[in-house]
Structure 1
Amino acid sequence: MAAIVATVAYLGLEARAVEVQVQLIPGLPAFNLVGLGDKAVGESRERVRGAIAAMGLALPPKRIAVNLSPADLPKEGSHFDLPIALGLLAAMGVVDAEALADYVIVGELTLDGRIAPSPGVLLAALHAAEVGKGLICPAAQGSEAAWASSVEVLAAPDLLGLINHLKGHGLLAAPRPGEVELDAGGPDLRQVRGQETAKRALEIAASGNHNLLMVGPPGSGKSLMASCLPGILPQLDPAEALEVSMVQSVAGALEGGRLTRTRPFRAPHHSASMAALTGGGLKVRPGEVSMAHLGVLFLDELPEFQRAVLDSLRQPLESGVVSVARANAHVTFPARVQLIAAMNPCRCGYLGDPGLACARAPKCAADYQAKVSGPLLDRVDLHVEVQAVSAADLMLPPPAEGSAEVAARVAGVRAVQAERYREHSIRTNAEAEGELLEAFCTPDDGGRTLLAQAAETMRLSARGYTRILRVARTIADMAGSAAVGRIHVAEALSYRRQPPRN
C-alpha cells in the first residue's frame, strides 16, 4: 500500500511544495524516513508512532518507508509530523487517501495524539491558496490560517478528531480570522520635555520614513523619543499587515492569529550577534531587522554593538532585503526598516560639560564615535544633537502637542507621498531613487546652488547627496510646498553629519 499527501518546506518567506510519500513494504518491521530532513524531522517517527498508539492503533508489521520529495530540498521543523501520520494512516487504510489529496497539511504531533502549533502556518495557507487546495493545521492556529480567506481550513485539536471529520462522524467548525489589534499603546510625545529640535527631526523621520541618529548625554530622552515613534507613524494597511504577519508566522511569533495594524518596533540589546540581528543560525530564522520589517529598528547605545554586526546592516538598509547564504541554500527575508539609533557623545557621556566630562576629552569622544563606521553613518539621513534636560525643564508643564497631533500631520504627509508614487512600487520619499528622485526631489535654482556649495564644503558622497534630496522633499511636503526650495534644502543640510577633518 502507498499514499501521497502534500505539505510544505519553508525557505525564508517562501513555502515550497513537498510530497510525503508513504509506502508499506513486506519485510522486517522498520520505520525509515528519508528526504534530507533535519533532526526534528527525523524524530517525527517517534511522535507519529506515539500519536497513532494513543488512538489504540498499532503500526503494521511491515517495513514503513517515508520519502519527503524533492529529496534535495532541505526540510526543517516539526510540522512534517501530521502529514507523515496521515500518509501512514492512508497507507494503512484508516483514512481515504483521496480525501487528503485536496489539502496541504502541516502540524506537530504530541505523543498523546494532540496537534500542536508549528511556525509558518500563514505561509502554508497562502501556498495552499496558490495551488487551489485546502489546509489542515493545528486548532490553535486556525485563526491565523483563516486570514487566507479563499482557503478551506480544517483546524483540528487532535489526530482522532481530524480522522472523525474526514470520515464524516464529527465535523470541525470552520475557524474565523483572528482579531486585528489597532493600537498596541506606548509612550506619548507629551512625556518629552523640551527637545524641540529633536522632536522636529523625529517628525521629519516619521513623515518620510528616514533613518535617524540621536546623539546626546545620558537621560536626555533619546530612548523615550524613539519609543514614541510607533505612535506617530501611520498604521499598516491590509497588504502591509499581511507582509509583517508572514515574517511573524515563520518566526513563530504570531499568537492567536492576531494581526496588528501597529508598525513593529524592535529594540535588540547591544550584545546581539550578527545572526540575531540579520538572521541565520543553524536553522535559518529571520533576525531583528526582518522582524522590524515595515516598522522601526531601534539601536540604543549604537557604538556598543560589535562593529561587524553593525556593518552587516549596510546592505539591508539599502536594498530592503537581507540574504542569508548557506552551503545548501540562499534564504532571503524582507528588511524594509526605518533605523533609529541613539548614542552618547563619548564613553562617559558628558562631553562638553566641564563638571562631568572625563579627563580624556575630547579624544575619548573621537575614539568612541569611531566605533561606528562611516559607511553606516552615511546611510543615516538625519543626525541630531540632543541636549541635556535640566531640572527646570522637568518642572515645566507638559507640551500642548502630543503624539495624536503629530500623527495627524504625519498621516497627511504620507498621504501626499502615496498619491505621488501611486503608479510606482515605492511608498515614501526615503525610497525614491533614479528617475523618481530627479522628477520629484530636484530643488529649484536657489536650492540647487546651495546644495552644490554644501556638497563641496561638506564633501558629500553620492549617497549623502541623494539622501539630502529625499529629506528636503519631505520637509517641503510638511510645509505644503509643491517645489523643493532653498529653505527646505538648508534644513535638510542642517541634519547632515559632517565627516571629521584630517
Structure 2
Amino acid sequence: MSGIGRSAAVALLGVTGRRIEVEAHLTSQLPAFSIIGLPDTSLGEARERVRAAAANAGAPLPARRITVNLTPAAVPKRGSGFDLAIAMAVLAGADVAPHVDERVVYIGELGLDGRLRPVPGVVPMLLTARDAGVARVVLPTGNADEARFVRDVDVHPVDSLRAAAIDAGALLPPVEVEPVLVPPALPERSPVAELADIVGNPVGVRALVTAAAGGHHALFVGPPGAGKTMLAERLPGLLPDLDDEAALEVAAVRSVAGHGAASWTTRPPWEAPHHSASAVSLIGGGSGTVRPGAVSRATRGVLFLDEAPEFPRAVLDALRQPLESGRITVHRAAGAAEFPARCQVVLAANPCPCGNAGSAQQPCECPPAAVRRYLGRMSGPLLDRMDVRVRVPRVTTGLIRGADGATPTTAEARQAVAAARAVMRDRLAGTGWTRNAEVSGAWLRGPGRAVPGATAVLDHALDLGTLTMRGWDRAMRVAWTLADLQGADRPDDRHVRDALALRSAL
C-alpha cells in the first residue's frame, strides 16, 4: 500500500524566491524517512522535527517508508521554513489531512511540541507566491504581522501543525496552544535631527540639501569635530517618505535580514556600520543562507561610513559596483543571490591621521607620505562615484556669530527637497528614472542638455584630464539638481560651476 501527498513551499536565494513542489511518497516497507532534492543540513534535520511534531500534534506518522522530494531538484533549498510543507505533504499521503492542496503554499518551522515557529524572509516568499498565482498561504502566527503588508494573497496564520492539519480536513480535536511569537523589535535608531542645529557651515548644509534632492552620493572631509557626522545624520530627515513600491522592496530585504514585524517602514532606512566591518557584512553573503549586507539593508535610504579611510580598502572598493548599478550580486557555490542596493552612500573622512591637515588653527603633525597613504585608502574610482565632495571647516566663534540663523530648518529643507523631486519626476516621466542621480550620460548630452555654452568649464577639465567622463556626468547631474532647487528650466553656467565647486574636495 502506498500513497502520495503534495504541498508547496518557497525557496529563497537572496530576495528572489522560487515555488517548490513538495511530494511525499509513503510505501509499505521498513520504516524510514528521507528527504531528497538538494536540501541543506538544517532542512535535512526536518525529518526529526516533523516526526516529533506530528506525534505531539495527535497525528503520528505511520510506520512506513517515507520519501520526500523537493522539486525542482536542481534548486538549492535552505533553512527550516520547509518543515510545515513537508509535514502537510506526508499527512496528505497518509490520508490524515485529505484536503491538502498543492496550490497552497505552506511556510513555517516546526517545534518538537508541534507549534509553528516564525521564519525570516516571509515578505519575499509571499511576493513569490503571489507572482506564481498561488491563492493561499499558510504560515506561522508569529509571521502574521509581517505578512499583512503584502496584498493580493490570502494569508492564513496558524499556531501549530495540528491547526494546519485541521484546516486541511484532519479529524482531530482542536487544542489551544500558546503561539510562538517573534521577540518585539528594538526601537531603531532613526536619525531625524534638526538641520537648523548646524551653524557656521553653509557649504556643508547646501551640499547636504543638494544630495538629498537629487539622490547623490556625498563625501565630507574635515577635521574632527567639524560636524561631518551631524550633517550625515540629518540626511534621512530630509528624504521623502517611501512610496508603496519602495517600501515593499525595503520590507523584502529587511524580512530576509530577520526584522520580522518591523520589516515594513515608510521612512528611508539608515545603516552606519563600524569601520571594523568586513566585506561580507557590508556587501552580504554568508557560508550558509546568503544574508543581505549593510548596503542592501540601506536600499532606498542612507549608508553612512564614518571614518571612511579607516575601513580596509578592499571593503570600500567592494562598494564600487553597487554604487553604479544599484544592485549587488553575491556569488556562492550554491548560486548567485541578488539584492537591491539603491542607497545613498555618505562618506566622512579626516584629511589626515591627526585630522589637522589644512587647518589654520592646529598644525598637522603627519608627514606627507602618511597623508597620501591615509587618503589613498579611498581609491580614485570610488571617489569618482561621489557626486558631492566638500570640505567641512572647523567651526569657530566667528562663524557662529556670522551664521545668524541662516541654516534652514529640517521642515523647510524637506519641503524644498520634495518640490525639487516633483520637478524631476515630471521631467523624467516615462524614462524609468525619478531622480537626477539616476539619469544616463546619453540623456545629459541629449534631451537633458544644459544651456548652450554652460558646460565649457566641464569640457575644459575633461580635455585636461582633471575630470573623467564619469565625473562629467556626475557633475552635470548635480547641476540639474541645483537648477531644480532654484526653479530654473535648465542648468546654466552658474549651476555647472557650482556643481563643480561641490566636487572640489580631494
TM-score, with structure 1 as normaliser: 0.92
Cα gap change, 1:139/1:147 in structure 2, threshold over 3 Å: closer, same or farther? Answer: same
Measure, in 1, the Cα distance between the counterparts of 2:277 and 2:400: 34
Measure, in 2, the Cα distance between the counterparts of 1:339 and 1:400: 23
Measure, in 2, the Cα distance between the counterparts of 1:436 and 1:264: 29
Deviations 1:52-107 (A, max 9, x none): 122234321111111111111111111011111111111222111x4332311111
Deviations 1:191-228 (A, max 9, x none): 22221110000001011011100001111111111111
The CA deviation at 1:137 is: 0.8
Matched, 1:127 2:128: yes
**1:34-433 equivalent positions in 2, closer than 5 A:** 34-96=36-98, 98-133=99-134, 134-167=136-169, 184=190, 186-253=192-259, 255-256=260-261, 259-282=264-287, 283-353=289-359, 356-390=362-396, 401-433=408-440
The CA deviation at 1:399 is: 5.9
Checking the alignment, whether the CA contact within 8 Å between 2:451 and 2:491 is kept in structure 1 is yes
Choose which of 468, 471, 474 in structure 1 pairs with 2:475.
468
Measure, in 2, the Cα distance between the counterparts of 1:198 and 1:457: 28
Counterpart of 1:366 in 2: which secondary structure?
helix
Measure, in 1, the Cα distance between the counterparts of 2:452 and 2:478: 17
Give % identity. 42
The CA deviation at 1:151 is: 1.1
The CA deviation at 1:397 is: 7.7
Cα gap change, 1:102/1:327 in structure 2, threshold over 3 Å: closer, same or farther? Answer: closer
Measure, in 1, the Cα distance between the counterparts of 2:429 and 2:465: 34
Measure, in 1, the Cα distance between the counterparts of 2:362 and 2:32: 74
Checking the alignment, whether the CA contact within 8 Å between 1:264 and 1:295 is kept in structure 2 is yes
Q: 1:178 corresponds to which residue?
A: none
* Unmatched runs of 5 consecutive residues or more in structure 1: 173-180
The CA deviation at 1:427 is: 1.2
Deviations 1:416-460 (A, max 9, x none): 001111111111111111432223432223312222223335621
Checking the alignment, whether the CA contact within 8 Å between 2:162 and 2:174 is kept in structure 1 is no
Q: 1:492 corresponds to which residue?
A: 499
Q: 1:7 corresponds to which residue?
A: 9
Counterpart of 2:21 in 1: which secondary structure?
strand
Counterpart of 2:25 in 1: which secondary structure?
strand
Checking the alignment, whether the CA contact within 8 Å between 2:254 and 2:263 is kept in structure 1 is no
The residue identity in structure 2 corresponding to 1:365 is V
Checking the alignment, whether the CA contact within 8 Å between 2:352 and 2:366 is kept in structure 1 is no
Measure, in 1, the Cα distance between the counterparts of 2:313 and 2:106: 43
Deviations 1:339-397 (A, max 9, x none): 11101011111223466444334443222101111011010011110111236667888
The CA deviation at 1:118 is: 0.7
Counterpart of 1:454 in 2: which secondary structure?
helix
Matched, 1:448 2:448: no
The CA deviation at 1:491 is: 0.3
Cα gap change, 1:4/1:392 in structure 2, threshold over 3 Å: closer, same or farther? Answer: same
The CA deviation at 1:36 is: 1.1
Measure, in 2, the Cα distance between the counterparts of 1:477 and 1:397: 26
The CA deviation at 1:411 is: 0.2
Counterpart of 2:370 in 1: which secondary structure?
helix
Measure, in 2, the Cα distance between the counterparts of 1:265 and 1:291: 8
Deviations 1:261-294 (A, max 9, x none): 1011111111111111111111211111111111
Checking the alignment, whether the CA contact within 8 Å between 1:41 and 1:80 is kept in structure 2 is yes
Measure, in 2, the Cα distance between the counterparts of 1:416 and 1:73: 45
* Larger mean Cα displacement after TM superposition, 341-350 or 160-169: 160-169
Measure, in 2, the Cα distance between the counterparts of 1:221 and 1:325: 38
Cα gap change, 1:55/1:170 in structure 2, threshold over 3 Å: closer, same or farther? Answer: closer
RMSD over aligned CA atoms reads 2.3
* Unmatched runs of 5 consecutive residues or more in structure 2: 177-186
Q: 1:175 corresponds to which residue?
A: none
* Larger mean Cα displacement after TM superposition, 288-297 or 146-155: 146-155
The residue identity in structure 1 corresponding to 2:266 is R
Measure, in 2, the Cα distance between the counterparts of 1:497 and 1:89: 68
Measure, in 1, the Cα distance between the counterparts of 2:214 and 2:97: 56
Checking the alignment, whether the CA contact within 8 Å between 1:441 and 1:469 is kept in structure 2 is no
Counterpart of 1:445 in 2: which secondary structure?
coil
Measure, in 2, the Cα distance between the counterparts of 1:190 and 1:496: 24
Deviations 1:111-160 (A, max 9, x none): 11111111121122122222332101111212322323221111111122
The residue identity in structure 2 corresponding to 1:206 is A
* Larger mean Cα displacement after TM superposition, 262-271 or 385-394: 385-394
Checking the alignment, whether the CA contact within 8 Å between 1:104 and 1:124 is kept in structure 2 is no
* Larger mean Cα displacement after TM superposition, 112-121 or 324-333: 324-333
Checking the alignment, whether the CA contact within 8 Å between 1:191 and 1:398 is kept in structure 2 is no
The residue identity in structure 2 corresponding to 1:401 is P
The residue identity in structure 2 corresponding to 1:187 is A
The residue identity in structure 2 corresponding to 1:66 is V
Checking the alignment, whether the CA contact within 8 Å between 1:142 and 1:257 is kept in structure 2 is no
Checking the alignment, whether the CA contact within 8 Å between 1:475 and 1:492 is kept in structure 2 is yes
